[in-house]
Amino acid sequence: MNAQTEVLNAKNHYQILDGLRGVAAFFVVMFHIMEAFAMGNRFEQLLNHGYLAVDFFFLLSGFVIAYAYDDRWEKLTKWAFIKRRLIRLQPMVIIGTIIGAVLFYQGAGATFPPIAQTPVWQLILIMLVGFTVIPVLPSVDIRGWQEMHPLNGPAWSLFFEYIGNILYALLVRKFSKTALSILVLLAACLLIYHTVLGKQGDVIGGWSVNTEQLTIGFTRLLFPFFAGVLLCRFGKLIHIKDGFWICAVLLLTVLSFPRLGGPEKLWMNGLYESVVIIFIFPLIVSIGAGSHIAGKTSQKICKFLGDISYPLYITHYPLIYVYTAWVIDHKIPMEKGLPMGLLLFAGSIGIAYLSLKYYDEPVRNWLQKKFLKKFRA
């Protein structure tokens, strides 16, 4: 998912981008809460395009990775880069997986029938594999959704995030602007082909280990991640007043926009998503990176949102499993389920904040001191 701004002290810190990452993460939680009432029907989801936040995260990651590392490869080895990314991302993957294991049996019921038949030893084994972000095959499905990370579904995007990072470190960082532009153009064509001409009319998917889902995952990764790298290299940033608030409103608008076309005209929604990912998301990042925050209150808001964004994204979904099972198994209507959903929303923020302050930051500080001494700038 989302790379933090690991930059030299001499470089600017993109506070607005941090804040926008947090806005998207908060929206993802609300999207997943509302998704329980759609009963798996993508045409009935109220906050219909919340899943596009993942594509926005990929774009942010590509931009920030290029900004942080493009000019550092004379002093930085590939292994040092990978270690930095592992230290940044992996501790929260582990805690998110642990939370998923602790809450796993709470989702037992008609919605997730395999849970009741899953022995503890198998749960522990899946948890240990989950610590590594290595996907599990559908044949080892312990929940019923055939996820590559059945204890913490959103970890699928971390799997692809790592792939993007590896491709950047091994190959793409050496690309000229022309070569990178060609790659991004081809990736955009692939995205348009999938969304406009494909059988879904959207980019939903990427979380299972089969040909179709892996194709969706790579389609979702390639354009935004490397478009973010390209955007950083061209440096065409836009400065406007109140950039954070304008970008936040624009981001929330496109993520909550109703689905277009219906089942009969899938291409209409596919076209919308292509326009959002290819044009609107880069515009938001360009404005966010080019504008500045005025006022201490806005700075504090952006810092808080940026700090909590990744912990919130990677720890909230185990609660969603339990909530979804409760809503579906007991046929809870939205008007009765939303108060519990709002409690879940607040609880997710609390868990994310505690995980950040009492686990993630101390662990990362220790790992950085132990393993990155030779590679500090």
Measured at the alpha carbon of residue 206, what is the angle toward residues 200 and 209, in degrees to the nearest 5? 115
Residue 14 region by backbone torsions, left for phi larger than 0, else alpha for psi between -120 and 50, else beta = beta
DSSP 356: I
Q: How far apart are CA 355 and CA 360, in angstroms?
A: 6
Q: How far is residue 160's CA from residue 78's CA, in Å, rounded to a whole number?
A: 18
Amino acid letter, 129? V
Share of the chain above pLDDT 70, in %: 96
- Report the phi/psi class of residue 7: left, alpha or beta, with left for phi > 0 and alpha for psi in -120 to 50: beta
Lowest mean pLDDT among 70-74, 193-197, 358-362: 70-74
Do the domain assignments include residue 9? no
Whether 3 is covered by a domain: the verdict is: no
What pLDDT is stored for residue 43 in this prediction?
A: 87
Structure tokens of 47?
């906050």
How far apart are alpha carbons 112 and 138 in whole angstroms? 14
Mean per-residue pLDDT, 188-199: 97
Whether pLDDT at 3 is above 70: no
Non-local CB neighbours of 305 within 8 Å, separated by 6+ positions? 18, 19, 20, 21, 22, 23, 25, 26
| HSE-CB of 189 using CA atoms within 13 angstroms | 6
Quote the CA–CA distance of 348 and 124 in Å, as a whole number: 23
Is 21 inside a domain boundary? yes
Give the model confidence (pLDDT) of 208-227 as tens digits.
999 999 999 999 999 999 99
Q: How many domains does the chain have?
A: 1
Which structure tokens are listed for 222?
A: 């390639």
Residue 336 has which token pair?
A: 């009765």
Mean pLDDT of 312-332: 97
pLDDT at 42 over 90: no
Within a domain: residue 103? yes
Average pLDDT, integer, range 343-347: 98
Residue 15 contacts residue 64 (beta carbons within 8 Å): no
Please classify residue 95 by burial: count the beta carbons closer than 10 Å to its beta carbon, then call 0-12 exposed, 13-18 middle and 19+ buried: buried
DSSP secondary structure of 111-171: SSGGGGG--HHHHHHHHHHHTTTPPPPGGG-SSSS--SSTTSTTHHHHHHHHHHHHHHHHT
Which residues, in sequence order, are CB contacts of 128 under 8 Å at separation 6+?
Answer: none
Residue 152 in contact with residue 96, Cβ under 8 Å? yes
- In sequence order, what are the residues at sequence separation of 6 or more whose Cβ sits closer than 8 angstroms to the Cβ of residue 150? 100, 126, 136, 141, 142, 143
Residue 7 lies in a domain: no
pLDDT digits (tens, 9 = 90+) for 271-287: 999 999 999 999 999 99
pLDDT of residue 375: 46
Range of the domain at 60: 15-371
229, 180 Cβ separation under 8 angstroms:
yes
Q: Please give the model's pTM, rounded to 2 decimal places.
A: 0.94
- Tens digits of per-residue pLDDT, 302-319? 999 999 999 999 999 999
pLDDT score at 2: 47
Residue 342 lies in a domain: yes
Closest residue by Cα to residue 221 from 203, 197, 234 = 203
Q: Which residue reads 């993460």 in tokens?
A: 25
Residue with the bigger pLDDT between 19 and 295: it is 19
For the chain, the distance separating the N- and C-terminal CA atoms, rounded to the nearest angstrom, is 25
Task: Report pLDDT digits (tens) over 114-150.
Answer: 999 999 999 999 999 999 999 999 999 999 999 999 9
> What percent of the chain has pLDDT above 90?
89
How far from 316 is each of 32, 80, 96, CA to CA, in Å?
A: 9, 30, 8
Q: Is the pLDDT of residue 377 over 70?
A: no
- pLDDT recorded at residue 373: 64
Residue with tokens 């590392």: 69
Interatomic CA distance for residues 44 and 196, integer angstroms: 20
Please tell me which residue, 310 or 371, carries the higher pLDDT value.
310
pLDDT recorded at residue 266? 95
Give the helix ranges, DSSP H, for the chain: 15-35, 52-69, 78-102, 120-130, 155-170, 177-196, 211-234, 243-256, 266-275, 281-290, 296-315, 317-329, 334-355, 361-371
- Chain mean pLDDT for the chain: 94
215 occurs within a structural domain: yes
In a domain, 4, yes or no: no
